[in-house]
A and B are shown apart, each in its own frame.
Chain A
Amino acid sequence: MIRVQPEDFDVGAEIEALTRGKTGIGGVASFVGLMRDVAGDKSISAMTLEHYPGMTERELERIEAEAQRRWPLIASLVIHRYGRMLPGDRIVLVATASAHRAAAFESCEFLMDYLKTKAPFWKQEETPEGARWVAADASDDAAASRWTKE
């Protein structure tokens, strides 16, 4: 399941809802992305996430379908927020549930790596010198590319 929303989410309630009644699940892996108050040597007071409505949902659904094709997942969830956020705020939740832990761990990491390089979101940070767009990080491309190796 995919959700793109400005509102915060409750991690515990989301995982509870994702797994309720699915008693074949043996483990859930989750990742929560939070807003940092620092980037390099700059302090960040707030951040605004822009996205491409429509394509964002399509890309996330495509990435989730790819994870479900690669691993025996019983349930999965991606929630990504947009709009203005403050340090400590939750930005993204990925949760994956499977009978065994390996599939849950691996697919959770895969989803985050692909989301960071494919889902059309852009961060603008507010620094003491003004607003600046975050540049893409080559290490994110490297993290995503390892899933395409044989």
Chain B
Amino acid sequence: MKLLYFAHLRTKIGTAEEQLDLPPGIGDVAALLEFLKGRGPKFADALGNRKAVRVAVNQTYVGWDHPLKPGDEVAIFPPVTGG
């Protein structure tokens, strides 16, 4: 799957985009975020406060229990501040 990070999550994590083979046992958004937080302090810092994280799968907002499949485009970003 393709992972995208935006705004201050992008700057904290230090990358805008990466390819990830969906790890075994990671079935939904919540599990993916837990997996990513376990990758190191930069990820734990960026994703630690769940209230400050929004997720879109294939460019549509989803909840934490949204199922994931290989090939999904998963975007992780902070609450939006446009307008």
Contacts and interface: CB of A to CB of B under 8 A. Distances in A.
A136 B6 contact: no
Q: Taking chain A's interface residues, is the majority helix, strand, or loop, or is none over half, making it mixed?
A: mixed
A134 interface: yes
Given A58-B59, A122-B77, A133-B11, A52 B4 contact: yes
A116 B80 contact: yes
B83 A116 contact: yes
Contact of B59 (A55, A112, A121): A55
B14 interface: no
B60 interface: yes
B56 A49 contact: no
Interface size class of A (residues with CB under 8 A): 20 to 34
A118 B83 CA distance: 10
Given A92-B83, A119-B83, A120-B56, A52 B78 contact: no
A46 B73 CA distance: 32
B71 to A, nearest CB: 16
A121 B7 CA distance: 9
A52 B81 contact: no
A80 interface: yes
Interface of B: 4, 6-8, 11, 56, 59-61, 75, 77-83
23 contacts: A50-B6, A52-B6, A52-B77, A54-B59, A55-B60, A58-B59, A80-B83, A91-B82, A115-B82, A115-B83, A116-B80, A116-B82, A116-B83, A117-B79, A121-B81, A121-B83, A122-B82, A133-B7, A133-B8, A133-B81, A135-B81, A136-B78, A136-B81
